[in-house]
Structure 1
Amino acid sequence: MSDTDAPDVLVLRRGTHGMPIEQYADAIRDRLPDHTVELARTPADEREAIRDARFVAGMTLEDDLLEAAENLEVFACAYAGTGHLPLEKLEERGITVTNASGVHGPNIGEHVLGSILYFTRRFHVGARRQRRREWRHYQAHELQDSTVTVVGLGAIGQSVCERLEPFGVETIGARYSPEKGGPTDEVVGLEGEAFDDALARTDYLVLACPLTETTRGLIDREALVTMDPDSVLVNIARGPVVDTDALVAELRSNGIRGAALDVTDPEPLPEDHPLWTFDNVQITPHNAGHTPKYYERLADIVAENRRRFDDGDDANLENQVLP
Structure 2
Amino acid sequence: MPDITVLRTGAHGTPMSEYAAALRERLPECDVALARTPADERDLVADARVVTGVDIDEALLSEADELELFAGAYAGYEHLPLDALRERGVAVTNAAGVHAPSAGEQVLGYLLTFARRLHEGWRRQQHREFRHYRAGELKGSTVTVVGLGAIGQGVVQRLQGFDVDTIGVRYTPEKGGPTDEVVGFDDEALHDAFARTDYLVLACPLTDTTRHLVDRAALNTLPPESVLVNVARGGVVDTDALVSALRREDLRGAALDVTDPEPLPEDHPLWNFENVVVTPHTAGQTPEYWNRLADILATNVPRLDADEELQNRVA
Instruction: Name the TM-score class by shorter chain.
Output: over 0.9
5+ long unaligned stretches in structure 2: none
**Cα offset for 1:131?**
1.2
Matches within 5 A, 1:16-95: 16-95=11-90
SS in 1 for 2:160: helix
Please state how far the C-alpha of 1:190 moved relative to its aligned partner: 1.3
Cα distance between partner residues in 1 of 2:248 and 2:15 = 44
Structure 1 residue 149, shift from structure 2 partner: 0.1
Structure 1: distance between partners of 2:27 and 2:243: 50
Q: Distance in 2 between matches of 1:116 and 1:63?
A: 42
Amino acid at match of 1:321: V
Counterpart-to-counterpart distance in 1, 2:269 and 2:59: 39
Give the match for residue 319 of structure 1. Answer: 312
Rounded to whole Å, the distance in 2 between the matches of 1:51 and 1:9 is: 11
Aligned-pair distance for 1:186?
A: 0.3
Q: Distance in 2 between matches of 1:191 and 1:265?
A: 24
| Correspondence for 2:6 | 11
Structure 1 Cα separation of the partners of residues 286 and 44 of structure 2: 29
Q: Any runs of at least 4 consecutive aligned residues in structure 1 with deviations exceeding 2 A, and if so which?
A: 310-313
Write the deviation string for residues 236-282 of structure 1: whole angstroms up to 9, x where unpaired: 00000000000000000001000000000011111111001111100
Other-structure match for 2:288: 293
The 1-side partners of 2:190 and 2:69 are apart by: 39
Aligned mates of 1:73, 1:50 — CA distance in 2: 11
Alignment partner of 1:158 out of 153, 156, 159:
153
SS in 2 for 1:321: coil
Q: Which residue of 2 aligns with 1:280?
A: 275
Q: Say which SS state the counterpart of residue 68 (structure 1) adopts.
A: coil
Please tell me the residue identity of whatever aligns with 2:85: L
In structure 2, what is the Cα distance between the partners aligned to 1:211 and 1:87? 17
Q: Hey, what does 2:133 align to over in structure 1?
A: 138
Residues 33-76 of structure 1 deviation map (CA, whole Å, 9 limit, x = unaligned): 11111111110000111111111111111121112112211000
Which deviates more from structure 2 when the two are superposed, residues 88-97 or residues 257-266?
A: 88-97
Q: CA deviation at 1:194?
A: 1.3
Find the aligned partners of 2:204 and 2:77 in 1 and give their Cα distance: 14
Give 2:168's aligned amino acid. Answer: G
Residue 174 of structure 2 is aligned with which of 167, 176, 179? 179
Structure 1: any 5+ residue segments left out of the alignment? 1-5
Q: Is 1:271 the equivalent of 2:266? A: yes
Is 2:226 the partner of 1:237?
A: no
TM-score normalised by structure 1 residue count: 0.96
Number of equivalent positions: 315
Give the superposition deviation at 1:311: 2.3
For residues 124-183 of structure 1, give each alpha carbon's deviation from its aligned partner in whole angstroms, at most 9, with x where no partner exists.
110111111111110111100100000000011000000001100000000111111100
How many Å separate the matches in 2 of 1:305 and 1:8? Answer: 13
1:197 matched to 2:192: yes
Question: 1:312, CA displacement in angstroms?
Answer: 3.0
| Deviation digits for residues 173-209 of structure 1 (CA, Å, limit 9, x no counterpart) | 0011111110000000112211101000000000000
Match of 1:3 in 2: none
User: d(CA) in 2 for partners of 1:289 and 1:53?
Assistant: 29
Task: Give the letter for the 2:278 counterpart.
Answer: I
Which stretch shifts more, 205-214 or 87-96?
87-96
Deviation at 1:105, TM superposition (A): 0.8
Find the aligned partners of 1:198 and 1:35 in 2 and give their Cα distance.
50
Report SS of the residue matched to 2:267.
Answer: coil
Distance 1:8 1:86 in 2: 22
